[in-house]
Amino acid sequence: MNRTLSLIAEVGSYETHHWLLPETAEIIYGGIASLIVFGALYKFALPMFKTSLTARTERIQKELDDARSLRESAETEATRIRTALGDIGAERSRLLAEADAQAAAVLGEGRARIAAEAADLEAKADADVAAASGRLNDEIRSEIARLSSVAVDRVVKAALNDAAQQDLIEGFISNVGAAR
């Protein structure tokens, strides 16, 4: 700062022709520089600005058109739904009637299948009872034969004394020897 003041002091007083306006050369050079900057802006920036504004306008218009078409399709769908709403009662009745018919068919098929299975089970049970009865009869016969054999042995042993038993054995041997 001191240096600036010393320069001003050396040159003399620094005065302009007007306290508000700059020097004439500065006005000329500043005006030319401003015209160059404004010309460059006009030539380069203004077309880009117009293009971006046009693109923005087109994008907004497209969004408005899309919104309009969506609204129209929504209104059409709403009208269709309101029209179909009247048919819902009839459709529900039809669906319930179909469901009742299907339930009756399934119930009938189930009853028929259960009846057939019951008949098969009864036939199988009858066959099992007959087989078990036959086995039981055979087992009872064999048990009776065994028990009667044991009883006969006991009765014979009790009825025969040693002398009678000895006579029977000798008679059997003599019969066997005579038969030879």
What is the average pLDDT across 77-81? Answer: 85
The domain limits of the chain are 17-178
Measured CA to CA, the distance from residue 178 to residue 66 in angstroms comes to: 132
Q: Between 115 and 160, whose confidence is greater?
A: 115
Separation between Cα atoms, residue 90 and residue 54, nearest integer Å: 54
Q: Quick check: 24 and 16 in contact, CB under 8 A?
A: no
DSSP conformational letter for 179: T
pLDDT of the residue at 51: 94
DSSP structural state of residue 45:
I
- Are the C-beta atoms of residues 70 and 77 closer than 8 Å to each other? no
Task: Report pLDDT for 6.
Answer: 60
Predicted TM-score of the model (pTM): 0.33
At 65-76, the pLDDT tens digits run 999 999 999 999
The tens digit of pLDDT for each residue in 32-67 reads 999 999 999 999 999 999 999 999 999 999 999 999
Average pLDDT over residues 115-134: 89
Rounded to whole angstroms, the Cα distance separating 75 from 95 reads: 28
Q: For the residues 156-170, what does the mean pLDDT come to? A: 76
Average pLDDT over residues 25-29: 91
Question: What's the token pair of residue 61?
Answer: 């218009």
Please give the torsion angle defined by the CA atoms of residues 53, 58, 62 and 63, in that order, rounded to the nearest 10 degrees.
0
Predicted confidence at residue 180, as pLDDT, reads 59
What percent of the chain clears pLDDT 90, i.e. is strictly above it?
A: 37
Torsion of CA 60, 66, 71, 74, to 10 degrees: -150
Q: Which two tokens stand for residue 47?
A: 């077309």
The pLDDT value recorded for residue 1 is 56
